Amino acid sequence: MGKPTGFMEYERQSQRERDPLERTKDWKDYTAPMSEEEIKQQGARCMDCGVPTCHTGTEINGVTTGCPVYHLIPEWNDLVYQGQWKEALKREHLMNNFPEFTGTACPAPCEGACVLGINEPPVAIRTVERAIIEKGFEEGWVVPEPPESRTGKKVAVIGSGPAGLAAAAQLNKAGHWVTVFERSDRVGGLLTYGIPEMKLPYSMVERRVNLLKEEGITFVTNTEVGKDYPVSKLEKEFDSTILCGGATVHRNVQVEGRDLKGIHYAMDFLHANTKSLLDSNLEDGNYLSAEGKDVIVIGGGDTGTDCLATSVRHNCKSLTQFDIYDKKGSIRDALGNPWPQYPVVHRIEYGQKEAASRYGDDPRAYAVQTTKFVGDDNGHVKEVHTVNVKLRIDEEGNRIREVIPGTEKVWPADLVLLAIGFSGPEQGLIGQLGLETNPNSTVKAEYGEYTTNVEGVFSAGDMRRGQSLIVWAINEGREAARECDRYLMGATVLP
């Protein structure tokens, strides 16, 4: 512990941001760099607890607490405070292949489990994490590290999101020849096309992918296994397969008027915008524009926030985000949401800040349930009808939302974006391979083992566990690689 009184001397300072109004004029990273001294002070706030809870990921009441990749957080916090950045980078990479992704886009359940957070603002763990890896790239410390020898075994990884990339990176370290298949034109999965450019720049993904290529991993894009690449060929050419295709079946809103034009899934909106932006700086027009429109975003999570930020940059006319939950308090409920659970508190994220800077107020409407969509004579949505609801827990513990009479409201809408998550993985390839599935449609494979009912076929990430966090995807990709290596070699050296 480098600074015993650090948590008393320094205030929490999370990642600095550019001015909300100014940054909406471009698609550049919305964050701003912090000085080395500022980062060292944040590292100094870490108490190097005797029994730290930040680095051990688990789930409490279905919500993640702590870090699922078992990041050595107290160690690299102390190393940063001591100015030993290169050593901090080594410790960071030991448990996480891609700290730049988690340091940028993870909701940081580690901070929710920080012991300091019991009665003080927690350590800005994610801010320090990102600073370490960025300094590593700037100083040229992050270089390709191909394996010294090859086993001759060939492994196919289906999907190039965080789970697929983590599995590929680990298997390559073990000396196997790895081919990653991606159906989109760019590698990265939802890292590339699900998270907007200003939140996670594609250059960050591309930088890491280029390193993986130099280490010997092969990437095949524009290729959907089971459609463009036959399963029979997959089984013939590879010794093993790891499925990391994600959970990409959208959840829908089943209300009157759903089939009207102008109602889209959030991920379609975000994907098209990022592709057009990367292809042509939006000059090709191949995206869903919110310009001049009254935009309604249904869903209060991160994807909904990303839709806000994108719509603001399109110069929409108005912007509203529906959240089915009540507005949360500013501090956690000591009884219903005690430490070290992830704090369920009111947050103002980057997209809400930007919307408020442009339109004058936080765009969120709380405890709102959509009842129907109404269209014009051309079959295009023009209104969203809603009602307010309250949550009640019945005798069996079921959550029931009851309508509050007299709260009906009509909202003007030209563009409606559904950001209410995903129900599970697509079933095409799963069916072709003859894989067993769980009742929620995910691939049946035990956590920690990742083996399916088909010999040599493994599954990890959202395809196995359902919609989850980047950090869980990396955790599962790494662990699935370990079990795949054990299957191929009879033993494994992978963690």
Confidence band, pLDDT 50/70/90 cuts, at residue 335: confident
pLDDT at 263: 98
Question: What are 253-283's pLDDT values in tens digits?
Answer: 999 999 999 999 999 999 999 999 999 999 9
| Span 366-375, average pLDDT | 98
Confidence band, pLDDT 50/70/90 cuts, at residue 1: low
154-248+423-489 CATH fold: FAD/NAD(P)-binding domain (3.50.50)
Question: What are 373-418's pLDDT values in tens digits?
Answer: 999 999 999 999 999 999 988 888 888 999 999 999 999 999 999 9
Q: What is the C-alpha end-to-end distance of the chain, expressed in Å?
A: 26
List % helix, strand, coil for the chain (3-state, nearest 5): 35, 20, 45
Distance between CA atoms of residues 7 and 366, nearest Å: 35
Domain locations in the chain as residue ranges: 6-138, 154-248+423-489, 252-420
Give yes or no for residue 171 having a pLDDT over 80: yes
Confidence band, pLDDT 50/70/90 cuts, at residue 334: confident
| Span 144-162, average pLDDT | 98
Give yes or no for residue 247 having a pLDDT over 80: yes
Distance between CA atoms of residues 440 and 425, nearest Å: 9
Distance between CA atoms of residues 114 and 385, nearest Å: 42
194's enclosing H/E stretch is: none
Question: What are 219-246's pLDDT values in tens digits?
Answer: 999 999 999 999 999 999 999 999 999 9
Architecture in CATH for domain 252-420: 3-Layer(bba) Sandwich (3.50)
pLDDT at 4: 86
- To 5 degrees, how large is the angle CA 351–CA 258–CA 416? 20
Ranges of beta strands (E only) in 240-378 are 240-243, 249-250, 263-265, 294-298, 318-323, 364-366, 368-375
Confidence band, pLDDT 50/70/90 cuts, at residue 3: confident
Better-predicted residue by pLDDT, 422 or 4? 422
6-138 CATH fold: Fumarate Reductase Iron-sulfur Protein; Chain B, domain 2 (1.10.1060)
Same fold, 6-138 and 252-420: no
Confidence band, pLDDT 50/70/90 cuts, at residue 319: very high
Lowest mean pLDDT among 2-6, 306-310, 367-371, 409-413: 2-6
Question: What are 434-448's pLDDT values in tens digits?
Answer: 999 999 999 999 999
| Span 105-118, average pLDDT | 95
- To 5 degrees, how large is the angle CA 263–CA 264–CA 267? 160
The whole-chain average pLDDT of the chain stands at: 96
pLDDT at 395: 85
Angle, helices 85-95 vs 73-81, to 10°: value is: 170
Within 8 A by CB and 6+ apart from 201, the residues are 28, 29
Q: What percent of the chain has pLDDT over 90?
A: 94
pLDDT at 370: 98
| Span 415-430, average pLDDT | 97
